[in-house]
């Protein structure tokens, strides 16, 4: 069992990583909660809801809600429905919410927990690799029709319980998506981490030992940053490496066409190329491109409107005063936030997209 | 000018009280906000929106929204509409929201500020006496059809700017409503404060000097408590004195029939009677009754269902595990949270309501 502890302005919480943790959940719940409410999605429920429910039902009054899988559920309608269900289930301010699922569930249930009766405790139980990122750090949110995660809060969980057995059931597409965020953590960290990642191949040969090693390393990078900057006043923005263009591509294609991680990987590739030019440095762009190719990340894009991508990048939350700010790298492990000049950014984006369409 | 400072877990903020502050707003805004968004209601807008707008427009990019006055606007629909307006106005995470109005506006705009882009700065500019209470302490919320303030957060403002000139335009009914919360603050505080309040008459003779004195005293009581218990884990619950029955009556009658403060005053009367019996002590019940009568607080209630009131008191957020918890007084200035026995509480409520119907 691996365990680390994360400091926040209000409390510390543990991140526990091991196999079969869903059967040992009780040992991580230290309070006598009068009610426990599990929120999960329609993909995860058939696989793991019973395990979690049965583990808790003797000691707690447990109820649950199964939410349709998919990003569309991070909506104001579902959010409000969950509020109604909590009230009707009689959950009071001493209740506990458990978010059992991937990033969608963690974000949605977390935002419900942050705002139900002005905040109740919640536990993150991530079931995807991508959620190694989103479950740590306390960012919770729902989407607005005009953009992702525009309504939300910083609200840390009371624990992250990561049962890596639940990762066995996720498809390779999701493994790729999650590993892109691990690769991101490796690039904003000192080089040995990227050296470790670049030799990983995402197929049947991926061992649980390798996966756990990389998850822990990724969570550690994230934890160090969010501890220093809980509310994203400065260095936490480094975690957006690859996300400025990534988010824009993701929403321009329409959610679901490309996974979050796949879009972010393309965004990282662009950010690395920009960084090389901006700082006249050399970065492992080719090695990262090869890694993406070997692991079947999409490297061909349909023709996209540069104008619209620029617009979306401006509307990105990281953007202040309509200047596009991007995280670039001076070197591996040396991220820096840069105000980009509109004209040159547009040029470089055009030539990058041209390559991505033809190569 | 009176000023006090309130500590929170994230920052300290000033509460400034004076005449004409709406014309001096700039001197309390210390950050170079790229955009300022004023939220106000349809009663306050014709009176003070121009003043605030004109004070800021030279230095900031200012936009605003005028929300229909009344508790119905604390709804999920209005909340999401405001989110859309903020996005369309281009307010980014460095923006500032100003809540110009009474408790409804403070709660609604505060909850919008707490959750727009995971939280932006906001300033409370209360324009009612009642809001001396709600604007301090960081409680923000909207209503759910099943209950008041069920969706919300603890999110302190960056400043409370209390222009007491704006109180000149509020009707006596609202002055009564606000003074009930001042009376509440006086009763959970040491006796001299109540002695001061009990001689106040709420008519044309009420001087601005008296009003400011009482507001500052009330805010001080509240500030001391919320500094010690920001997230209502313990002593902050003392501020609910009079609110358990008060809320139940308010919602049983239907919002708007009786003001919040009027309902709370009745709740306080009941809590004082209960306290006398529970602790065999003597409290100024008659003096408070006389004060209510002299100041035209409603003292006659229609026949209300005790069952339904008990149900509503159980659903109150202060209620845990379906026992009704009430704030009682061992003496003036000595509040205490008591688990009430259902049977005896019902009996005493019946006899209290009987008196309120006939006397």
Q: What is the pLDDT along chain A (359 residues), one digit of tens a residue?
A: 999 999 998 899 999 999 999 999 999 998 999 999 999 999 999 999 999 999 999 999 999 999 999 999 999 999 999 999 999 999 999 999 999 999 999 999 999 999 999 999 999 999 999 999 999 999 999 999 988 899 999 999 999 999 999 998 889 999 999 999 999 999 999 989 999 999 999 998 999 999 999 999 999 999 999 999 999 989 999 999 999 999 999 889 987 789 999 999 999 999 999 999 999 999 999 999 999 999 999 999 999 999 999 998 987 654 455 689 999 999 999 999 999 999 999 999 999 999 987 65
The verdict on a CB contact (< 8 Å) between A116 and B151 is yes
Q: Is A299 on the interface with B (CB under 8 A)?
A: no
pLDDT digits (tens, 9 = 90+) for B55-67: 999 999 999 999 9
Q: Is B146 on the interface with A (CB under 8 A)?
A: yes
Question: Burial code of A233-243, b = ≥16 C-beta within 10 A, e = fewer?
Answer: eeebbbbbbbb
Query: In chain B, what residues touch A94 (CB-CB under 8 Å)?
Result: 320
Q: Is B293 on the interface with A (CB under 8 A)?
A: no
The verdict on a CB contact (< 8 Å) between B152 and A88 is no
The verdict on a CB contact (< 8 Å) between B93 and A152 is no
CA nearest neighbour of B50 among B28, B25, B71: B25
The verdict on a CB contact (< 8 Å) between B114 and A139 is no
pLDDT digits (tens, 9 = 90+) for A271-281: 999 999 999 99
Question: For B146, which of A84, A92, A317 is closest by C-beta distance?
Answer: A84
Residues tagged in the binding site annotation of A for Zn(2+): 181, 243, 260
Question: For B83, which of A9, A151, A232 is closest by C-beta distance?
Answer: A151
Count CB neighbours of A4 within 10 A: 15
Give chain B's mean pLDDT: 94
Q: For A68, which DSSP code?
A: P
**Where is pLDDT greater, at B321 or B31?**
B31
The verdict on a CB contact (< 8 Å) between B320 and A141 is no
Query: In chain B, what residues touch A320 (CB-CB under 8 Å)?
Result: 34, 92-94
* pLDDT computed for residue B316 by the predictor: 65
| CB < 8 Å from B in window 42-81 of A | 76, 80
Query: In chain A, what residues touch B120 (CB-CB under 8 Å)?
Result: none
pLDDT digits (tens, 9 = 90+) for A122-176: 999 999 999 999 999 999 999 999 888 999 999 999 999 999 999 988 899 999 9
Helical (H) or strand (E) element with A33: none
pLDDT digits (tens, 9 = 90+) for B117-144: 999 999 999 999 999 999 999 999 999 9
pLDDT digits (tens, 9 = 90+) for B90-113: 999 999 999 999 999 999 999 999
Helices within chain B (DSSP H only): 50-56, 76-88, 103-115, 131-134, 172-187, 192-198, 208-228, 243-253, 260-279, 285-294, 306-315, 342-358
Structural domains in chain B plus CATH codes: 2-169 (3.40.50.1970), 172-358 (1.20.1090.10)
Nearest-angstrom CA–CA distance, A170 and A130 = 11
């Amino acid at each position: 069992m691996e365990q680390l502890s994360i400091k926040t302005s209000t409390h510390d919480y543990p991140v526990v990583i091991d196999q079969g943790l869903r059967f040992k959940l009780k040992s991580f719940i230290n309070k006598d909660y009068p009610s426990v409410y599990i929120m999960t999605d329609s993909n995860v429920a058939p696989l793991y809801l019973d395990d979690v429910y049965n583990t808790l039902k003797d000691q707690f009054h447990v109820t649950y809600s199964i939410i349709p899988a998919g990003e569309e559920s991070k909506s104001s309608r579902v959010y409000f429905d969950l509020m109604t269900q909590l009230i009707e289930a009689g959950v009071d301010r001493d209740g506990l919410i458990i978010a059992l699922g991937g990033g969608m569930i963690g974000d949605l249930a977390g935002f419900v927990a942050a705002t139900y009766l002005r905040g109740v405790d919640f536990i993150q139980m991530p079931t995807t690799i991508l959620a190694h990122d989103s479950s740590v750090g306390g960012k919770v949110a729902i989407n607005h029709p005009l953009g992702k995660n525009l309504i939300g809060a910083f609200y840390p969980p009371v624990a992250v319980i990561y049962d890596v057995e639940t990762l066995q059931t996720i498809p390779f597409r999701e493994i790729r998506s999650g590993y892109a965020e691990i690769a991101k953590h490796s690039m904003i960290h000192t080089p040995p981490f990227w050296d470790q990642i670049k030799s990983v191949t995402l197929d049947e040969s991926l061992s649980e030992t390798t996966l756990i090693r990389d998850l822990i390393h990724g969570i550690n990078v994230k934890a160090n940053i969010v501890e220093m900057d809980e509310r994203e006043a400065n260095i936490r923005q480094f975690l957006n490496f690859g996300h400025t263009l990534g988010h824009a591509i993701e929403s321009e294609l329409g959610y679901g066409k490309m996974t979050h991680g796949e879009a972010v990987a393309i965004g990282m590739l662009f950010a690395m190329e920009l960084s090389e030019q901006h700082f006249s440095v050399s970065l492992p762009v080719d090695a990262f491109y090869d890694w993406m190719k070997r692991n079947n990340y999409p490297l061909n894009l349909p023709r996209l409107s540069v104008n619209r991508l620029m617009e979306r990048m401006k509307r990105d939350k990281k953007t202040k005063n309509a200047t596009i700010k991007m995280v670039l790298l001076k070197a591996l492990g040396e991220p820096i936030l840069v105000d980009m000049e509109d004209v040159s950014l547009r040029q470089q984006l055009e030539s990058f997209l041209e390559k991505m369409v033809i190569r």
